[in-house]
Amino acid sequence: KYLLVFDFDETIINENSDDSIVRAAPGQALPEHIRQTFREGFYNEYMQRVLAYMGDQGVKMGDFKTVYETIPLSPGMPDLFQFLSKNHELFEIILISDANMFGIESSLRAAGFYSLFRKIFSNPSGFDKRGYFTLGPYHSHKCLDCPANMCKRKILTEYLAERAQEEVEFERVFYVGDGANDFCPSVTLTSADVVFPRKGYPMHRMTQEMEKKQPGAFQATVVPWESAAEVARYLQEVLKK
C-alpha cells in the first residue's frame, strides 16, 4: 500500500483559501489597519483577526461556505482524484493543510472528493455563539522553519509512527504540495519516495536550491507538475511496475 499526502491551498485548489474568503467581506477587501498586523510566521493569528473583523461586519457561515464551495480546483486535479477513486484500495490518502477544517471540508464535499481522504490534519475552526467564524492553531512544535501553529513534518512523522504501531507499513510515500511548509516534511522522505512540487512554487524552488547546495541531500525523487494529470500519469506507471 502507498501513502499519498496532499496539501490543500494552491495544490488541490487553485487559490489560497485564506485570500479567497476575503470575497465574502464588505467590498471584497480588508481595511489597511488589519492588513498591517500580518507578521511572517504568524499567519494563523493574523487570520484570527481577519475573521473577527469579518464577523463584526456580519459575514455569516453561509457566506464563507459559498466561497469555499466555489474555489476552483487546480488544473488536472479532477483527473487525479478520479484515478485515485478507481484505485482507492492501493492508496491511503491524507491531507495536511495550514488552512482550516471547515473550509477544507466544505470545498471537498462540494467537489465530491471528501470521502477519498482517510484523515485531514488542519487548523481547528468553527462558528461561535455569535455566529463568528473562529480559528485556532493546530499544535505547538519546535521546528524553526515552519509557522508557529503547524509543522507538517511533525504531523507526517507522527502519522507514520502511529500507522506503524497499527502494523501498517507503506511501500512508498508520495507527497503533493506547493509551499515552503511542504518542503519541510519532504526533506524527511527516503529515496523510495516521490515528491510532486507544483512547478514554479516555493516547494519546487527549495528542492532545486537544496540540490544545488547539497547534491544528494534531498533523497526523494522530485517530479514537478503543472497539471495534476501529470501526477496521475506518474502514479499509473508506478502501478504497472
b/e sequence 121-142, b meaning 16+ C-beta within 10 Å: bbbebeeeeeebbbbebbeebe
The C-alpha cell at 239 is: 502501478
Q: What single-letter DSSP state applies at residue 114?
A: G
The C-alpha cell at 90 is: 492501493
User: Which of the following is catalytic: 9, 19, 56, 182?
Assistant: 9
Is 56 marked as a binding-site residue?
A: no
Residues 38/60, Cβ–Cβ less than 8 Å = no
The C-alpha cell at 152 is: 507538517
Q: How far apart are CA 113 and CA 45, in angstroms?
A: 29
Residues 136/124, Cβ–Cβ less than 8 Å = yes
- 125-127 vs 119-121, strand pairing mode: unpaired
Q: How far apart are CA 241 and CA 233, in angstroms?
A: 13
Query: Is 9 considered catalytic here?
Result: yes
Is 193 marked as a binding-site residue?
A: no
Is 7 marked as a binding-site residue?
A: yes
Is 98 marked as a binding-site residue?
A: yes
User: Which of the following is catalytic: 7, 19, 63, 128?
Assistant: 7
Name the amino acid, one letter, at 46: Y
Distance, C-alpha 153 to centroid of its chain: 13
Is 178 marked as a binding-site residue?
A: yes
Query: Is 145 considered catalytic here?
Result: no
Which residues make up each annotated binding site for substrate?
18, 98
Residues forming the active site: 7, 9
Which residues make up each annotated binding site for Mg(2+)?
7, 9, 178
Which residues make up each annotated binding site?
7, 9, 18, 98, 178
